[in-house]
Chains A and B, each alone.
Chain A
Amino acid sequence: MSQARDTCQPAPPAAARQEPRLLAAGPDAGWDQHLDTFGPLDADVAAPGLLDALAASGLTGRGGAAFETWRKVTATAESGRKGLFPSRPVLIANGAEGEPLSFKDRTLLTHAPHLVIDGLLTLASALGGASMYVYAPAAGLPRVRQALAGRPGTKRVRVVEAPETFISGESSAVVNMIATGTAVPLDQRRRLSESGLNGRPTLVVNVETLAQVALIARYGAHWFREAGTAADPGTRLVSVSGPAPVRDVVLEVPGGVELSAVLKEAGMDPAPLSAVLVGGYHGRWVRPAAHVLSPVGPVAGTARPGAGVIHALDPNSCGIQATARILTYLANESARQCGPCMFGLPAMASVLNRIAGGERNPRLASELDRLGRLVSGRGACRHPEGTTGLVSSALEVFAADFRAHLAGYCAAPGGVAA
């Protein structure tokens, strides 16, 4: 596998070892530990140079889509200044973690809430005093409220509870929940950066992204790039899980790290693993061999981290059956607003479950493919194409199992006759 890389850059780190940055203040860090570890940060002093620093840092969103953070901020800032009546932007810290296999945002809010709040205050100041919200599930709120109560400049930060649904963290669903109390995606005729909460330019930023912003505001873009690669600078948190006895762990890994190194760091031997789910339920199954974890890079050797989910499939379980279970869940998590998703996803789940159950009908495979192509790109949010992407990766990685199922048996070790 060859990688297009800047020649003056070192090769991607072979190990996942990374000096902790985001969680450096230790477990359950309070205000004092936070200040001792990171030093003070005056949001208003740091704000003027922040956009340039973010652009130089190359920071991308850590919530899934991996847009360049500075572009998102710039778009929001510019549309706030546009028009006859400039309107104050809205900044929302997004801690909703609907991905069932994701727990890094919860971990960050529990152990480093002050770093997230630093990022929120600094970015709001850089946006000319944006209205601030923290949106997080019930479990993360006590620590957030406690952290907000104990520090200056946070009186105006509003805290909103995110429901525990898969799509509650989709950015327009976040805005909708704050505006109306319903966390389902909105039709986006205009982008949120132009017209979001109450028609104001709105920026929804993942909580880890905000914590990274707080570090860049303190130590600069050059420091940020000391970890990771030129194409994928800095570090990211990943939620790693696998078959028992593997424990769920949150790791901070450098950009461009090798997937196998992350698995080893989490206490797994990559060799016997048949497949790893990278990026969550809207991500892809990959074979662990020689993949680099990065939002950019050639399709063949790159696994896109998405929301930072890495889940190893139990070597004794069947990938087709696992994917059928996930697809059933995703179909049930449809907001049921958009026809193609409301009808198409359950139809896909039904077909894949028939395949998983060993129904010997050669037309099921082409029907699954047809439905996936039919729903893609047709919805207020990306739930249809995210779901389709996962299914198509399963058909690729588990091609042998797929053929076995269509022939009436399950080839997985320990698999029962389907």
Chain B
Amino acid sequence: MTTILHIDWTSCDGRGLCTELLPGVLDRDDWGYPVARGKAGRDRTDVPLRDADREAAQEAVFLCPKLALSLQERTGPARESRKPGR
């Protein structure tokens, strides 16, 4: 069971509140949008969290001014990757 922080990029405006609340999980890119630290591919949109970060993530979900964040519980194996056929 993993908790996932999902970033809705269509809503995210790069306000940066989440990066303040989760400095160990999220960095900011050139334009202020969150970047999941040490993650690659789609794990930067559905960011797996450590238990220690859950509370802060919950707070980020509540406080995000653009409502761009949500938490999901992922059971069992990760979703099959939906990579384009390359």
Instruction: Point out residues on A near B: beta carbons under 8 Å.
Output: 60-61, 64-67, 185-187, 189, 191, 279, 282-284, 295, 304-306, 337-341, 343-344, 347, 374, 376-380, 382, 385-386, 389
Contacts and interface: CB of A to CB of B under 8 A. Distances in A.
Top 6 A-B pairs, shortest CB-CB distance = A66-B85, A338-B9, A187-B8, A377-B44, A339-B33, A337-B10
Q: Which of B7, B10, B41, B70 has the most CB of A within 10 A?
A: B10
A347 B33 CA distance: 15
B42 interface: yes
B73 interface: no
17 contacts: A61-B85, A65-B82, A65-B83, A187-B8, A189-B70, A283-B86, A304-B85, A304-B86, A338-B9, A338-B12, A339-B13, A340-B31, A344-B29, A344-B30, A374-B30, A377-B39, A377-B41
Nearest to B7: A378
Nearest to B72: A189
Contacts of B39: 377
Contacts of B43: 377
Nearest to A370: B30
Nearest to A375: B29
B76 interface: no
A402 to B, nearest CB: 21
B22 interface: no
Contact of A284 (B6, B83, B86): B86
B74 to A, nearest CB: 12
Q: Which of A66, A284, A337, A340 has the most CB of B within 10 A?
A: A340
B64 interface: no
Given A189-B72, A304-B86, A339-B13, A347 B30 contact: yes
Given A376-B40, A385-B41, 16 more contacts: A64-B84, A65-B85, A67-B82, A67-B85, A187-B8, A187-B10, A306-B84, A306-B85, A337-B10, A339-B13, A374-B30, A376-B41, A378-B33, A382-B84, A386-B86, A389-B86
Interface string B52-86: 00000000000000000010100000010011111
Contacts, number: 91
- What DSSP secondary structure best describes chain B's contact surface? loop
A377 B70 CA distance: 17
Contacts of B12: 338-339
A64 B84 CA distance: 6
B35 interface: yes
Nearest to B44: A377
Interface in B1-57: 6-14, 29-33, 35, 39-45
A385 B43 CA distance: 13
B64 to A, nearest CB: 13
A114 to B, nearest CB: 27
B44 to A, nearest CB: 4
Contacts of B30: 343-344, 347, 374
A305 B9 contact: no
Contact of A380 (B8, B29, B41, B86): B8
A382 B43 CA distance: 13
Given A64-B84, A304-B85, A379-B45, A339 B31 contact: yes
A236 to B, nearest CB: 11
A187 B11 contact: yes
Given A374-B35, A377-B45, A340 B86 contact: no
Contacts of B7: 378
B84 A386 contact: yes
Nearest to A279: B86
A337 B7 CA distance: 13
B41 A305 contact: no
A332 B75 CA distance: 38
Nearest to B4: A189
B8 to A, nearest CB: 4
B9 A187 contact: yes
Q: Which of A187, A279, A337 has the most CB of B within 10 A?
A: A187
A296 B79 CA distance: 20
A295 B85 CA distance: 6
Contact of A377 (B6, B29, B40, B84): B40
B42 to A, nearest CB: 5
B22 to A, nearest CB: 16
Contacts of A386: 84, 86
Contacts of B84: 64-65, 282, 306, 382, 385-386
